[in-house]
């Protein structure tokens, strides 16, 4: 989920921070030179393990991408998901093939790409829905093994006001300091990855630190305005 940030969004942020300077490109290249070897260790591990080039996860990526092209956001994680998956002709065909985990992932990526090419507007709609699902203040009503009213109460006491405050904080912080672009790009690029592949409320946990920062910025601005005389 963080790879597009490290190899794409962050270098763009470096270019933005150093825009207008001759050394901007050099700083971006230096960042990539430091980040790429860290990512490269995973690629090297995959090659040593599977004997083929695997740039990302060895399993799950293609499966998630395809699965949640056929599963509506509001039925994921329910018995209805199992019913839809069992009836899907592509997944039924996959069950007849004798593919390795890496081959399975690549096969599903191809099937997903073909489906997206046939239904690009629907795919964009799914991405928008997953983005909204990722940032839902209150989770879907499910059997989480806990009292639903307690879950709602906990959400209302936390995310239900923190997330709107953080959205306001995006505008408060803006780009007043050039380095703030890194905060915005990290949240947006990571959210975009989950929007494309698959989103669950718990996936936003690594981003909540930045939500706290943005919410604090908005609340501080509000407090300052309330304290002004007149």
Q: Which residues contact 17 (CB under 8 A, 6 or more apart)?
A: 178, 179, 181, 182
DSSP helix, strand, coil percent of the chain (3-state; round to 5): 75, 0, 25
Q: Which domain holds residue 26?
A: 3-227
Q: For 58-67, 92-101, 126-135, 197-206, which range has the lowest pLDDT when averaged over its residues?
A: 58-67
Distance in angstroms (rounded) separating the CA atoms of residues 201 and 183: 20
Q: Structure tokens of 44?
A: 């090297």
Position 172 scores a pLDDT of 85
Tally the domains of the chain.
Answer: 1
Nearest residue to 9 (alpha-carbon basis) of 182, 210, 179: 182
Confidence band (pLDDT; 50, 70, 90) for 92?
Answer: very high
Tokens 């989770």 appear where? Answer: 139
Q: CB atoms < 10 A from the CB of 106, how many?
A: 16
Mean pLDDT of 115-128: 93
* Residue-wise DSSP of 169-191: HHHHHTTSSTTHHHHHHHHHHHH
Q: Which residues contact 185 (CB under 8 A, 6 or more apart)?
A: 5, 9, 10, 12, 13
pTM of the model: 0.82
């Amino acid at each position: 989920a963080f790879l597009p940030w490290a190899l794409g969004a962050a270098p763009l942020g470096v270019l933005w921070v150093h825009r207008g300077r001759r050394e901007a490109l050099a700083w971006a290249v230096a960042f990539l030179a430091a980040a790429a070897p860290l990512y490269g260790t995973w690629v090297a591990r995959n090659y040593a393990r599977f004997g083929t080039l695997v740039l990302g996860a060895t399993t799950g990526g293609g499966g998630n991408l395809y699965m949640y092209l056929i599963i509506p956001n509001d039925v994921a994680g329910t018995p209805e998901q199992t019913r839809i998956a069992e009836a899907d002709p592509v997944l039924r065909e996959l069950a007849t093939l004798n593919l390795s985990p890496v081959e399975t992932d690549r096969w599903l990526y191809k099937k997903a790409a073909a489906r997206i090419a046939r239904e690009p507007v629907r795919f964009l709609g799914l991405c928008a829905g997953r983005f909204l699902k990722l940032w839902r203040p209150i989770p879907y009503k499910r059997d989480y093994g806990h009292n639903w009213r307690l879950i709602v109460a906990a959400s209302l006491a936390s995310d239900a006001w923190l997330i709107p405050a953080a959205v306001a904080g995006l505008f408060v912080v803006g780009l007043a300091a050039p380095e703030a672009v890194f905060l915005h790009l990290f949240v947006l690029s990571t959210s975009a990855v989950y929007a494309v592949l698959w989103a669950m409320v718990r996936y936003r946990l690594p981003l909540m630190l930045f939500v706290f920062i943005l919410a604090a910025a908005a609340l501080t601005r509000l407090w300052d305005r309330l304290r002004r005389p007149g």
